[in-house]
């Protein structure tokens, strides 16, 4: 609940120091010194200027000392600022504000809060400026008790009508997830302030409260670009890419001009959906509207093209960029790895090092993933060891996981198991699941059962883990064990994530589930599916029924395979696009081996290029082969 006047605690005498008295003590010396202090841009000059202040006899002038403190804060020389501050015999609110400003700017909010309460303890009356700073500090570390106390003082001093204070109070309560209090403060602001709405929308979105965020957004009549972008970004960060794109279209209808942050949000939404055509339109918008192709926008474009299946366009953007940062390189490395072009990913990493761009933890995840998906064991270990040796980066669990996956994929299962057991961090269910999956692929039942038991004993296992366990037992014909795992899932209320595939035709994205019959053109889709099955049989394609991990009849297994979601999406693409058009499919799960074999033949007999993005990587099917080399 918000505070009332009955909760006010700290009284302030009316005759204490304020900002006004500092300006009354100017002298001729001060007029000469202040321009020097304001123009200083080097930390090394601060002691010299301070010596000049003392020599001129201005070391007791409140205004000169304030300017001195501001200079130290601006140049991040807080230790010297504190030394200067401690020499002031009678510091006022002006001096405290200058020091607090520096602490807030340098992300030392606790120091700013302590200074504020020291000031109050010395009976110096706060004003709106210093209160805005301390509330900002409280919000940044979610210091609710301190913020409540400051709010008491706001009411006591009758400063509640000040817009900066209202903004900071709203930010404080939103950061502390006290959204009812935040909305009350927001409701008191005249005209439904767009800047305040942006803060509240962002905070609500951070907590996944998209409906509440949208309600706040909708109540603002005069929304600016930043407000629109905050709501779009909220949708993107919460996985609601379609909603983000709908809102972006509405933003265009309202003739609100996007900025580079809006563009990056929309490109991220395109990446989530695999919406290549819309991503291309955004790229053209960038060019036509003089949105600067800096590292921020360029990295988002590289990421979008790579995740939407057009690696060639990602490489074109990457090569055209004059300004590249570590995010740009990371996006290109990850994109190449996803598309199975591992040697090129390693070369980009080497170029990055030559260009003097320091790799991050994320860089090494990308390079190690590239090595894992192409069996580059020696290169992978060399890169892994260079993290600590060359860059003093301690490997994290995701890096260890990449190495386990690297060994497991090439069949060095016992070595992968021993590596996992000897890690400096505790292996998680993701690492054990990767090893278990490799045991299934390589037919190593005894190690698979050992890893399965580790997973069963783990409380961190998710739905994917249980499904994998069930599938492993089924693949070895252990139907009872598989049934036991599925029963455990039901008992725990864990649901298997349904397979879902999507394809963009024109400006519309069409989604399909396993055996989906919801689509308006379902009759044509299933007729095309029957036709394809006939052609596939003529080509000698035999369904891999062993991937149907259920104890059912052979005919039922064949039908279960035939209605996988990616096949329905491909059939829809074949009946709705011109011959020769590339089909781009996005699937939320790993593509099964039977569908993988089937799509290679479809690409051959139809003369189409088919790009499938599954949970792990991209598969480029063309002329009867796949870019992954059947290694995924």
Q: What pLDDT digit, counting tens, does each position of 87-108 carry?
A: 898 999 999 999 999 898 888 8
Contact between residue 148 and residue 113 where contact means Cβ atoms under 8 Å apart: no
Question: Is the model more confident about 21 or about 611?
Answer: 611
Q: Is residue 475 part of a domain?
A: yes
Sheet with 508-513, strands from edge to edge, namely 508-513, 500-505, 583-587, 610-613, 618-622, 625-626
Q: Are both 543 and 622 inside the same structural domain?
A: yes
Percent of the chain with pLDDT over 90: 53
pLDDT number for residue 191: 63
pLDDT number for residue 632: 67
Count of CA atoms in the C-beta half-sphere (13 A) of 130: 27
Average pLDDT score over the chain: 86
Contact between residue 447 and residue 439 where contact means Cβ atoms under 8 Å apart: yes
Q: Is residue 326 part of a domain?
A: no
Q: Is residue 428 part of a domain?
A: yes
User: Measuring CA to CA, which residue among 165, 121, 166, 171 is closest to residue 141?
Assistant: 171
Q: Are both 550 and 511 inside the same structural domain?
A: yes
Pairing of strands 508-513, 500-505: antiparallel
pLDDT number for residue 4: 44
pLDDT number for residue 139: 93
| DSSP-assigned states of every residue in 438-467 | HHHHHT-HHHHHHHHHHHHH-S---HHHHH
The residues, any chain, with a CB within 8 Å of residue 140's CB and separated by 6 or more, are 104, 107, 109, 175
Q: Are both 507 and 593 inside the same structural domain?
A: yes
Q: Is residue 560 part of a domain?
A: yes
Percent of the chain with pLDDT over 70: 91
Burial track 436-473 (b if 16+ CB lie within 10 A, e otherwise): bbbbbeeebeebbbebbebbeeeeebeebbbbbbbbbb
Ramachandran class of 188: left when φ > 0, alpha when ψ lies in -120 to 50, beta otherwise: alpha
Q: Are both 518 and 473 inside the same structural domain?
A: no
Q: Which two tokens stand for residue 150?
A: 């400051």
Q: Is residue 402 part of a domain?
A: no
Phi/psi at 14 (5° precision): -70, -15
Domain boundary at 450, 466, 492, which? 492
Phi/psi at 113 (5° precision): -65, -45
Structural domain of residue 597, as residue ranges? 500-626
Q: Are both 593 and 516 inside the same structural domain?
A: yes
> Does 133 score more than 90 pLDDT?
yes
Domain boundary at 466, 492, 518, which? 492
> Does 465 score more than 50 pLDDT?
yes
Q: Which two tokens stand for residue 610?
A: 């088919």
pLDDT number for residue 221: 85
pLDDT in tens, 418-454: 999 999 999 988 899 889 888 888 888 889 888 888 8
pLDDT number for residue 507: 77
pLDDT number for residue 11: 46
Question: Is the model more confident about 553 or about 474?
Answer: 474
Q: Is residue 518 part of a domain?
A: yes
Q: Is residue 559 part of a domain?
A: yes
Q: Are both 455 and 550 inside the same structural domain?
A: no
pLDDT tier at 460 (50, 70, 90 boundaries)?
low
Question: Is the model more confident about 551 or about 171?
Answer: 171
pLDDT number for residue 208: 92
Q: Are both 475 and 512 inside the same structural domain?
A: no
User: Measuring CA to CA, which residue among 197, 223, 227 is closest to residue 212?
Assistant: 197
Which of 15-29, 302-316, 530-544 has the lowest average pLDDT? Answer: 15-29
Contact between residue 213 and residue 201 where contact means Cβ atoms under 8 Å apart: yes
Q: Are both 458 and 483 inside the same structural domain?
A: yes
Total number of domains in the chain: 2
Domain boundary at 438, 458, 492, which? 492
Distance from the Cα of residue 8 to its chain's centroid:
41
Ramachandran class of 207: left when φ > 0, alpha when ψ lies in -120 to 50, beta otherwise: alpha
pLDDT tier at 52 (50, 70, 90 boundaries)?
confident
Question: Is the model more confident about 450 or about 381?
Answer: 381
Q: Are both 464 and 516 inside the same structural domain?
A: no
Q: Are both 530 and 449 inside the same structural domain?
A: no
pLDDT number for residue 138: 95
Most confident of 252-266, 494-508, 535-549: 252-266
- Alpha-carbon distances, residue 126 vs 86, 121, 150, 185, 282 (angstroms): 19, 11, 10, 21, 48
For tokens 């990616």, the residue is 566
pLDDT number for residue 499: 84
**Among positive and negative, which fits the CA dihedral 171, 177, 181, 183?**
positive
pLDDT tier at 347 (50, 70, 90 boundaries)?
very high
pLDDT number for residue 561: 55
What average pLDDT does this structure show over 395-421?
Answer: 94
Q: Are both 486 and 544 inside the same structural domain?
A: no
> Does 366 score more than 90 pLDDT?
yes
pLDDT in tens, 3-51: 443 444 444 444 334 444 444 444 447 777 888 888 888 888 888 888 8
Element (H, E) at 501: strand 500-505
Element (H, E) at 368: helix 361-372
Q: Are both 472 and 581 inside the same structural domain?
A: no
Q: Is residue 469 part of a domain?
A: yes
Number of residues written out for the chain: 632
């Amino acid at each position: 609940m918000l505070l009332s006047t009955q909760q006010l605690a700290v009284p302030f005498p009316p005759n204490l120091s304020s900002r006004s008295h500092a300006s009354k003590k100017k002298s001729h010396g001060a007029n000469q010194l202040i321009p020097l202090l304001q123009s200083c841009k080097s930390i090394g000059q601060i002691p010299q200027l301070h010596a000049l202040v003392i020599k001129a006899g201005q070391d007791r002038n409140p205004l000169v000392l304030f300017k001195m403190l501001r200079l130290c804060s601006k140049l991040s020389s807080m230790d010297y600022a504190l030394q200067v501050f401690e020499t002031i015999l009678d510091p006022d609110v002006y001096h405290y504000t200058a020091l607090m400003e520096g602490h807030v700017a340098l992300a030392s909010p606790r120091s700013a809060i302590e200074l504020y309460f020291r000031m109050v303890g010395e009976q110096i009356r706060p004003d709106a400026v210093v209160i805005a700073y301390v509330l900002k500090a409280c919000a940044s570390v979610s210091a609710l008790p301190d913020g409540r106390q400051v709010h008491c003082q706001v009411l006591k001093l009758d400063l509640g009508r000040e817009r900066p204070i209202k903004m900071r109070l709203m930010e404080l309560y939103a950061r502390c997830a006290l959204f009812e209090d935040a909305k009350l403060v927001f409701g008191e602001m005249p005209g439904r302030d767009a800047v305040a709405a942006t803060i509240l929308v962002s905070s609500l979105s951070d907590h996944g409260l998209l409906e509440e965020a949208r309600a706040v957004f909708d109540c603002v009549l005069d929304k600016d670009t930043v407000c629109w972008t905050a709501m779009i970004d909220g949708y993107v960060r919460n996985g609601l890419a379609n909603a983000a794109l709908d809102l972006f279209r509405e933003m265009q209808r309202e003739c609100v001009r996007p900025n580079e942050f809006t563009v990056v949000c929309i490109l991220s939404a395109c990446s989530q959906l695999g919406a290549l055509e819309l991503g291309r339109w955004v790229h053209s918008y960038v060019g036509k509207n003089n949105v600067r192709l800096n590292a921020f926008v360029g990295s988002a474009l590289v990421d979008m093209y790579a995740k939407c299946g057009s690696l060639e366009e990602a490489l074109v953007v990457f090569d055209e960029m004059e300004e590249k940062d570590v995010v740009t390189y990371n996006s290109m490395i990850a994109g190449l790895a996803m598309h199975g072009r591992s040697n090129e990913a390693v070369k980009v990493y080497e170029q990055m090092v030559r260009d003097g761009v320091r790799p991050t933890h994320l860089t090494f995840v990308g390079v190690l993933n590239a090595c894992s998906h192409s069996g580059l064991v020696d290169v992978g270990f060399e890169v892994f060891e260079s993290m600590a040796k060359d860059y003093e980066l301690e490997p994290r669990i995701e890096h260890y996981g990449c190495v386990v996956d690297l060994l497991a994929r090439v069949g060095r299962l016992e070595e992968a198991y021993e590596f996992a057991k000897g890690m400096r961090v505790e292996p998680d269910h993701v690492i054990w699941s990767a090893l278990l999956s490799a045991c299934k692929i390589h037919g190593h039942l005894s190690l698979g059962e050992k890893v399965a038991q580790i997973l069963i004993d783990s409380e961190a296992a998710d739905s994917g883990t249980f499904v994998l366990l069930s599938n492993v037992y089924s693949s070895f014909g252990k139907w009872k064990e598989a049934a036991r795992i599925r029963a455990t899932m039901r008992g725990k209320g864990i649901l298997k994530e349904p397979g879902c595939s999507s394809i963009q035709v024109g400006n519309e994205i069409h989604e399909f589930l396993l055996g989906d019959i919801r689509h308006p053109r379902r009759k044509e889709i299933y007729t095309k599916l029957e036709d394809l099955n006939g052609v596939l049989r003529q080509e000698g394609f035999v369904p891999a029924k062993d991937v149907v991990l259920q104890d059912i009849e052979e005919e039922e297994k064949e039908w279960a395979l035939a209605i996988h979601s990616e096949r329905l999406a491909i059939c829809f693409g074949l009946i709705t696009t011109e011959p020769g058009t590339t089909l781009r499919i996005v699937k939320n799960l790993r593509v099964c081996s039977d569908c993988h074999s089937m799509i290679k033949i479809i690409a051959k007999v139809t003369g189409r290029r088919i790009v499938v993005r599954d949970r792990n990587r991209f598969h480029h099917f063309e002329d009867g082969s796949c870019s992954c080399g059947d290694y995924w």
